[in-house]
Structures are given as C-alpha cells and as structure tokens.
Amino acid sequence: GAGVSQSPSNKVTEKGKDVELRCDPISGHTALYWYRQSLGQGLEFLIYFQGNSAPDKSGLPSDRFSAERTGGSVSTLTIQRTQQEDSAVYLCASSNPGGSYNEQFFGPGTRLTVL
Amino acid sequence: KNEVEQSPQNLTAQEGEFITINCSYSVGISALHWLQQHPGGGIVSLFMLSSGKKKHGRLIATINIQEKHSSLHITASHPRDSAVYICAVRRFSGTYKYIFGTGTRLKVLA
C-alpha cells in the first residue's frame, strides 16, 4: 500500500482479555517498529524487527507483550491478560534501511482502551 | 533527565506570529526527525536532518550537531499549524530506534 496501515483503529476490551494489533508496513520496508503513546505521555519504543527477527525487544514492558512478524511484512503485537495501564495508542512505523536517513514512516495507530 | 528535551512544552501564538520550538539532546545521534501530530490523528513526518538546515514551505528546521540542538521554526503561523510537534533522535545503533522528546503542544489563535 501507499503507507503504513494499522488495524483495528480502535479497540475496547475488558481487563484480562487478550488483544492483537496488526501493522502492515510500506511494501519493501524491511525494518518495522512498534511504539506506544500513553495518555499525556510521550512516545516510547517497544520492539524493532529487521525482516522477521526482532533484535531489539528492550521496550516491551512485560512478558504479557509479544510481537511477531511473518514474511518480512505484516506484524502482530499481542497483549495477553490486558490491564488498564495498557490503555494507549499503539503506533507502528516502518523504514527502508537502504533509504535516506532510514526515515521512519508512521501508521495511524490503534487506540486501545482497557476497561 | 530525559535524553531528549523539548521546549516549550506548551505554546500559544497569534496567527501570523513566528514560532520557534527547541530540541536538545544529550546522546550521540545519526539523525534527528521532526514530527507533527494532530489531535486524534496520526504522525506526519516534517523533516529529517543530520546537519545544517532544511526548509519546506513555511517550516524551517536547523540542527547544530556540536551543540546537540535543533530548532523548528514556523513562519506566518496559521491555526491549522495547531498540533503537537515531536522531536525524535536516532542514535548510533544498529536498531535505528527513535528516542522521542515529550512534544510541544502548539495552539495558534485566529
């Protein structure tokens, strides 16, 4: 597609449920990033993929969070046993390491609300 | 202390005013990215730079690598410029992950 897409755009779930967030990067972009923006807070890094491997998972806040990427394209961020503090906007970005500055292009985000 | 600091945190201006948003960082970087985020909206890339100055329309971004400082200027500001402006730096690391400033919330009044 023309840009990074994410789905769903909004997700409301009950505490304790599992959720899956999807990211479709720009075609050909081998690098993919997940970030989180909590209400009133800045953006924080969660995980980085190069191809299908994740060399940097340092930002994942707990073992309830996991992510995978298949076919070097679509990525899924899974949050198990959601907690209210997981409520945030989850943003995905992709880049082409061969491109100028390795500029990251952001998706529209998924707003997650945990009741 | 955050590795990336922005100032001011909030800024209200009258339409037509010249606006400056500052970003200072304390780590070695390979590039700096200025981003714009509208309320409820996604993030739009404005500039990515590693030296000197870039201009696009009414927006100008400058960076001084030695002083570890960048500025984003908006000339002839307009209410549609109202948004959160975020500075992100990319470190010298293999992952190229960003470290973000906390953002500057700009409101331009008509």
Q: Give tens-digit pLDDT for A8-65.
A: 999 999 999 999 999 999 999 999 999 999 887 888 999 999 999 998 898 999 999 9
A82 has pLDDT over 70? yes
A1 has pLDDT over 60? no
Beta bridge partners of A35: A45, A91
Q: How confident is the model at residue A100 (pLDDT cuts 50, 70, 90)?
A: low
Token pair recorded at residue A99: 């491109």
Cβ-based contacts of A50 with chain B (< 8 Å): 95
| Chain B interface mutation, best of A30, A103, A105, highest count of B Cβ atoms under 10 Å | A103
**Cα A90–chain centre separation:** 6
Q: Which of A12-16, A99-103, B101-105 has the lowest mean pLDDT?
A: A99-103
Q: 3-class SS at A9?
A: coil
Distance from the A94 Cα atom to the nearest Cα atom in chain B, whole angstroms: 11
pLDDT at A101 (0 to 100): 62
A98 has pLDDT over 70? no
Section B48-71 average pLDDT? 94
| A-proximal residues of B, 50-69, CB under 8 Å | 50
Q: Angle at CA B97, nearest 5°, toward B35 and A35?
A: 65
Cross-chain Cβ contact B31/A108 below 8 Å: no
A99 has pLDDT over 70? no
